[in-house]
Amino acid sequence: MKCLPNPRSLATLPLILMPFASMCETDSYRNAEGAFKWKTLFANRELEVVSQPFVGVHTSGGLEPGLFTVHSTGVSTKPVVEAASAFLDTLRPDQQVRTVFGIDDPEWRRWCNVDNGIYVRQGSSLKEMDPAQRTAAINLMRASLSAKGLQLTEDIRKTDHTLGEINDNILTYDEDLYFFTLMGIPSETEPWGWQVDGHHLVINYFVLGDQVVMTPAFLGAEPAVTTTGKYKGNSLFQDEQNQGLAFYRMLDPEQKDRATLAKEKSGHSNRAEAFKDNLELDFAGLAGKEMSAGQRAALLRLVSLYTGNLRDGHAELWLQDIEDHLDETHFAWEGGDSDEAKFYYRIHSPVILIEFDHQQPIGTTSINPPELPTRDHIHTVIRTPNGNDYGKDLLRQHLEQHPHR
């Protein structure tokens, strides 16, 4: 990260970065003192948030109960368990100390999408792993994700290499600086999970029996389309971008008015990024019950771009749960609808929160105007509202039925 946008645009920065913008006047991030300040600020923010009891994303009316139940899905998680066990077996004792945590450890909530120069992560990184460990870590993702989802993680990591090329900074940006942790011990009956945490790539993956929860997930890219260097041609989130715009264009004028929160896109709009586990966010925009059958089908296709990153079988179950709440699902929009428009959209229901946002450039200010949103920097966030991020509500129910000593 060369520097954040000019402090004049402070009001448009994401909340997580606002306290740090003034440091960019002297580019203090590049020296040891500046890096120390940034790390301290992020560490303090993390401590403040993690020390608060987990509630979950909710509306001003509070949590909606009874949305999630412990039950059998009929879709085996055995391949995921076996891959996680194989990964665990490759770790040295010193790596296990840094990588394995309890199932209800606050480590779940210690993630952030920013680069490694300003945020310190737990676990073992791909960079430090030997070939067998690295293969086992990738196999864990392969078993847990769809082919599309696995490819997306690989392409996101490639963008970090590209940022290193653009900024001549291979210490901060590196396609292997992605850190794995395990929560609990892999089991076909007991709760456990895993997390990968790195720049523009965060996946939290909870498993209970044959149930899976894969949120919070942060998936982003800068540059979204690589035009130079080793990974020239690498391209991310074009379907999410183009289908989101196409859906908005499907709406009639009255529907657009209800869906549109702002007609201009001037800064960062995502609400549910890092350290927002207890976000209060009311429904806004156009409700599914106000859409035509064709529009509802198109909305589900858009949602499936995100849920489809989960492994086959569980992805279909996830999408079905979302469809069951389609009447209560709201679509909201910020920005225009021209072919080159920069925009934000949100899909929000009692069981899903998806955000897509064109962000201001941070690592590509040398090739993109620094104070304007760009299609070259995209953030997406996926959460399970009403207390089931990290599978927390399922874990609560499990522990009530099977107290652990």
Report the pLDDT value the prediction gives residue 39, as an integer from 0 to 100: 84
Average pLDDT in the chain:
92
Report the pLDDT value the prediction gives residue 34, as an integer from 0 to 100: 67
More confident residue, 169 or 232: 232
Report the pLDDT value the prediction gives residue 117, as an integer from 0 to 100: 78
More confident residue, 404 or 44: 44
Q: Domains in the chain: how many in total?
A: 1
List pLDDT tens digits, range 67-88.
Answer: 999 999 999 999 999 999 999 9
- DSSP assignment, residue 362? S
Q: What is the dihedral of CA 122, 125, 129, 132, to 10 degrees?
A: 100
Report the pLDDT value the prediction gives residue 32, as an integer from 0 to 100: 63
Report the pLDDT value the prediction gives residue 9, as an integer from 0 to 100: 35
Task: Assess whether pLDDT exceeds 90 at residue 182.
Answer: yes
Q: Which residues contact 281 (CB under 8 A, 6 or more apart)?
A: 57, 58, 59, 271, 272, 348, 353
Q: Round to whole Å and give the CA distance between 280 and 278.
A: 6
Predicted confidence band at 23 (pLDDT cuts at 50, 70, 90)? very low
With vertex at residue 25, the alpha carbon angle to CA 23 and CA 28, rounded to the nearest 5 degrees, is: 50
Task: Assess whether pLDDT exceeds 90 at residue 118.
Answer: no
Mean pLDDT for 155-174 is 93
Report the pLDDT value the prediction gives residue 6, as an integer from 0 to 100: 36
Listed range (25-29, 212-216, 233-237, 347-351) with the worst mean pLDDT: 25-29
List pLDDT tens digits, range 259-303.
Answer: 999 999 988 999 999 999 999 999 999 999 999 999 999 999 999
Full-model pTM: 0.93
Judge whether 368 and 376 are in contact, CB under 8 Å. yes
In the structure encoding, which two tokens stand for residue 350, read together? 């009692």
Task: Assess whether pLDDT exceeds 70 at residue 65.
Answer: yes
Q: Round to whole Å and give the CA distance between 269 and 339.
A: 20
Name the residue range of residue 109's domain: 1-405
Predicted confidence band at 35 (pLDDT cuts at 50, 70, 90)? confident
Listed range (34-38, 337-341, 354-358, 379-383) with the worst mean pLDDT: 34-38
Which of 193, 175, 160, 177 has its CA nearest to residue 87? Answer: 193
